[in-house]
Structure 1
Amino acid sequence: MMSRILRLSDGAAVRLLEAGQGAPLLLIHGVGLRAEAWAPQIAALSDGARVIAVDMPGHGESDALPGRPGLPDYVAWAARVVEGLGLGPVSVAGHSMGALIACGLAIDHPALVRRVALLNGVHRRSPEARAAVLARAEEIAAGKAGIDGPLARWFGPGDEAVRDRVALWLREVPPEGYASAYRAFAEGDTIYAARMAEIRCPLLVLTGENDGNSTPAMTEAMAAMVPRGRAVVIEGHRHMVNQTAPDRVTAELKRWLTPTEAAA
């Protein structure tokens, strides 16, 4: 696995982790994390693909977006990343906030996307859930939000090793980048929701059975809106399912990446 910095057309730095050869696969993590969050999938998928995991803006070693960015700004950033890579259309998988970005990329820039996978994505939160996530966004912006709450929601018994690794990333994320991305995440669940039927490429939507924020009902609803959509729910797991059930998630991603799946 190689780490390098990609310079975008506007001069912004994006840190990449790359491994393997073959058709390009872009991986976008969630708020508060970094490219290493995809380590199990990078290791497992790089035998048949050129896997490229990115640090999201304001996370890890990637430059933050200016001003008060919303979800469409993160989508435009992802489009610049794909264009900067110069690899033609890519398969793209996103987790949580990364899923919102990947979804927007497939809608706004279909020529750049070969297929799209949304892991633990959100879609039309309930009023109560929306109020709670907006309140947390304000707490994060004010520097008052801790990490114990998210960790308790994301992990269950037996997940301690992964939980400790994610906790380290959350403690290290630059505060401004974290606050900006979380605000866009909190406000982003409806921005592309009505346009999902525009996605014409193969779509995988996956979540954990016990993910209370990216619920199985959301997953089923998103997949049903897309002509070539497929929903998968991993039983017994929560929000960090790509790390707590890496073999199950990787198997579904491999199925999604196959030419047969793409033609289905």
Structure 2
Amino acid sequence: MMLKTLQLSKSGLKVCYRDQGVGEPLVLIHGVGLQSAAWGPQTAALQDVCRVIALDMPGHGGSDPLPTGSQLPDFVAWCHAAVLELGLGPVNLAGHSMGALIAAGFTARHPDLTRRVALLNGVYRRDDISRHAVEARAAEIERGNVDLETPLTRWFGETAIELDAKAQVATWLGAVDLTGYATAYTAFAHGDATYADQLPNIACPFLSITGDGDPNSTPDMSIAMAKLVQNGTAITIKGHRHMVNLTAASEVNAHLLTWLKVPTTQKELQ
């Protein structure tokens, strides 16, 4: 699938994206260090039931970075601008990791533009130990000390499927723009509570999925978010870690297909 590009009219930033299928739009936002190609298994499975638009996050893939120092609301505003520029109207929205933070923030800020929202390996109100650890990693990345092997070890086990996915992800991490990576990771490190108080206002069908072996996007976080919203479902996939969309693609896709069939109400789309 060829990458397409658009230029945001207000900021002038270039956004690269993959666009395939027809029907209700499903916008996909990947995590820090990755790119839109990471949604390959989901695009292949879902393009027959909806139009799948996978965005390269700012500073990733072919998309221009946001200014250094940008925080989560800036990434949410970027997503909003892209949705408007593409003329999509109300969208289904799914995000992974940092993309999940963006998706949750977009839904809280723009309920009129959100049909359904799904968070894969999302984070919510880290405890003090986890917060200090991720903020320390962000500070190291900002100083130019980038360790890509540590997250790969944390994200993947040793099964054949995981090792294959690990090799793919290593390629994307190795190609990332380090300035854009640092900006996004810093926003990720500080964004776990930015929209937390607004979750109870989310009324559209809400799905949170994570792996039982993910120490940073934990099942407890996933369950807590699903309980806070008005129409939430939490799924924990056993035997998997942080990259469930790649390592447990069939199971994730089945849950997404079910989520896409959950009725929305007219009130949610007004």
Same fold by TM-score, threshold 0.5 exceeded?
Answer: yes
**Corresponding residue for residue 65 of structure 1:** 66
Partner residue, 2:268: none
Partners of 1:2 and 1:49 in 2: how far apart?
18
Deviation string, structure 1 residues 113-149 (Cα, Å, up to 9, x no partner): 1110000000010100000000000111111121111
Deviations 1:128-173 (A, max 9, x none): 0000000000111111121111011100111111101101111110
Q: What letter is aligned with 2:138?
A: A
Q: Are 2:192 and 1:189 equivalent residues in the alignment?
A: yes
Q: Give the Cα–Cα distance (whole angstroms) in 1 for the partners of residues 220 and 264 of structure 2.
A: 24
**1:215 counterpart (218, 227, 232):** 218
Q: Residue in 2 aligned with 1:203?
A: 206
State how far apart, in whole Å, the 2-side matches of 1:206 and 1:214 are.
9
Which one of the candidate residues 168, 181, 184 is aligned to 2:171? 168
Secondary structure of the structure 1 residue equivalent to 2:3: strand
Equivalent in the alignment of 2:34: 33
SS in structure 1 at match of 2:220: helix
SS of residue in 1 equivalent to 2:19: strand
Deviations 1:214-252 (A, max 9, x none): 000000000000110100000110000000000000000
Is 1:3 matched with 2:11?
Answer: no
Match of 1:99 in 2: 100
User: Where does residue 128 of structure 1 map in the other structure?
Assistant: 129
In 2: Cα distance, 1:68 partner to 1:138 partner? 12
For 1:48, the equivalent position in structure 2 comes to 49
Identify the residue that residue 252 of structure 1 maps to in structure 2. Answer: 255
Determine what percentage of the aligned residue pairs are the same residue: 55
CA distance in 2, matches of 1:39, 1:69: 28
Q: Secondary structure at the match of 1:92?
A: strand
Task: Give secondary structure in 2 for the equivalent of 1:2.
Answer: coil
Unaligned runs of 5+ in 2: 266-270
Cα distance, 1:87 vs structure 2: 1.7
Greater than 4 Å deviation, 4+ residue runs: none
Q: Which amino acid aligns with 2:86?
A: L
Distance 2:41 2:9 in 1: 31
CA distance in structure 2 between the aligned counterparts of 1:172 and 1:8, rounded to whole angstroms? 24
Amino acid at match of 1:222: M
Greater shift in the superposed pair: 96-105 or 9-18: 9-18
Distance 1:63 1:19 in 2: 22
Cα pair 1:256 1:262 within 8 Å, conserved = no
Equivalent residue for 2:235, pick from 217, 232, 235 = 232
- Which residues in structure 2 correspond to 1:71-150 (within 5 Å)? 71-150=72-151
Distance 2:196 2:153 in 1: 28
Tell me how large the CA RMSD over aligned residues is: 0.9
Q: Could you tell me which amino acid in structure 2 is paired with residue 154 of structure 1?
A: W
Report the Cα distance in structure 1 between the residues aligned to 2:180 and 2:145, rounded to whole angstroms: 15
Deviation of residue 194 (structure 1)? 1.4
- Between 124-133 and 61-70, report the one with greater CA deviation: 61-70
| Residues matched between the structures, number | 262
- When normalised by structure 2's length, the TM-score is 0.95
Unaligned runs of 5+ in 1: none
TM-score normalised by structure 1 residue count: 0.97
